[in-house]
């Protein structure tokens, strides 16, 4: 039964990428103010209430050493206030998906990781662990990932490769506005989606994990030479 539920959730996310006729989920997000329309600024969307940046005190930071990737995202999402949890999330890969929380992402399907998370397939071998937290109804609205990279990996080069990979995608039915990449030692974090949601995530990522710093923040570009691959739809 758990596997059937996981498959249904994966298909729901896949349809959010590709099924333009299935915009009901997007409309729902817009109606409750959680999804900033493509091309709008954070000031036009649903920014987190003033003062939320100070809600995660420095002494609550999780130590970066010896953390698994799922621990990183769990620390970040755990520092959200109830008011900031404005959209349903799921985490993990298609075989180990969890509701309402980040989940560990197996490293066994590099092509799926490239498609869903935006890490180049050729770079997956540089990871010790990975995790995801994604908007359950529309991955273009919010997708985040954390990775623990192997010792000796050029972290900055890997982050640049991820940024290039995400910006090489072409998008359907919802265009992510903002991309951020962050790092702390051998831990890297990425997120793309609606700007207001990314700003909240970025603030908590910087506050929740010891030593986390912002490497890049900017608009997601529209590029690539093909449609964004949709898992399970060919």
The whole-number pLDDT of residue 132 equals: 98
Residue 62's pLDDT is 63
Angle, helix 69-78 to helix 195-208, in steps of 10 degrees: 110
Alpha-carbon distance 181 to 204, whole Å? Answer: 13
d(CA 22, CA 42): 25
Q: How buried is 31 (Cβ within 10 angstroms: 0-12 exposed, 13-18 middle, 19+ buried)? A: exposed
| 20: number of Cβ within 10 Å | 10
pLDDT attached to residue 232: 36
**Inter-residue contact 155 to 188 (CB < 8 Å):** yes
Regions of the chain with pLDDT less than 70: 1-65, 173, 223-234
Residue 59: CB atoms within 10 Å: 5
Give the span between the Cα atoms of 137 and 211, in whole angstroms: 32
What is the pLDDT at residue 120? 97
Residue 103: strand pairing partners: 132
In the structure encoding, which two tokens stand for residue 170, read together? 């072409």
Q: What is the pLDDT of residue 32?
A: 37
Q: Is the dihedral of CA 28, 33, 36, 37 positive or negative?
A: positive
Residues 191 and 41: beta-carbon distance below 8 Å: no
CA distance 195 to 181: 14
pLDDT at site 61: 65
């Amino acid at each position: 039964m758990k596997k059937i539920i996981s498959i249904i959730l994966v298909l729901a996310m896949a349809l959010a990428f590709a099924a333009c006729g299935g915009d009901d989920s997007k409309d729902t997000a817009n109606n409750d103010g959680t999804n900033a329309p493509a091309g709008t600024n954070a000031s036009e969307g649903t920014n987190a209430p003033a003062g939320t940046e100070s809600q995660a005190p420095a002494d609550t930071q999780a130590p970066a050493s010896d953390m698994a990737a799922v621990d990183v995202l769990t620390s970040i999402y755990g520092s959200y206030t109830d008011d900031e949890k404005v959209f349903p999330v799921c985490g993990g890969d298609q075989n180990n998906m969890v509701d309402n929380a980040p989940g560990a992402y197996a490293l066994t399907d590099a092509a799926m990781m490239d498609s869903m998370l935006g890490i180049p397939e050729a770079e997956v071998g540089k990871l010790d662990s990975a995790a995801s937290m994604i908007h359950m109804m529309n991955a273009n609205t919010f997708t985040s990932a954390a990775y623990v990279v192997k010792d000796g990996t050029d972290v900055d080069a890997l982050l640049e490769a991820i940024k290039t990979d995400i910006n090489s995608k072409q998008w359907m039915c919802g265009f992510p506005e903002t991309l951020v990449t962050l790092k702390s030692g051998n831990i890297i974090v990425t997120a793309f989606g609606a700007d207001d949601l990314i700003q909240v995530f970025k603030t908590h990522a910087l506050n929740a994990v010891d030593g986390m710093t912002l490497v890049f923040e900017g608009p997601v570009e529209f590029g690539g030479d093909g449609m964004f691959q949709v898992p399970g739809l060919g």
